Amino acid sequence: MSLNRENVVWETESGRWRCGHFDFYEVGDPFSEDFDPEWDVEYTDDFRWVSDEHDNAADAYEAYPGPNPGGTTIVPRELDLDACRRYDAMAKALEEAWRE
């Protein structure tokens, strides 16, 4: 089963890989017969879930415990260092929130 959800796999500062799924909220009326829980969502700029570090991008992507999200964006550090740093910070913020 798949359920489209926005996510990213990025290379961390340590050279390992993580996957992060973006937080979201539903838009529209969930009681309407036209409501689609897969597509009637808006994403935030925060993560809802992040993986541990993995040796490669494929393992990071496969770590998600939910339904297949239908794909990902893979970001190596050498191609977009700023994005990888931002994702590292977002993962750290989520992990700190989990600890509280």
DSSP symbols for the chain:
-B----EEEEE-TTS-EEEEEEEEEE-S-TTSTT--TTTSEEEEEEEEEE---BSSHHHHHHT--SSB-S--EEE-TTT-HHHHHHHHHHHHHHHHHHH-
pLDDT score at 64: 97
Query: 17-55: per-residue pLDDT in tens?
Result: 999 999 999 998 999 999 999 999 999 999 999 999 999
pTM value is: 0.92
Q: Is the pLDDT of residue 94 over 90?
A: yes
pLDDT score at 61: 98
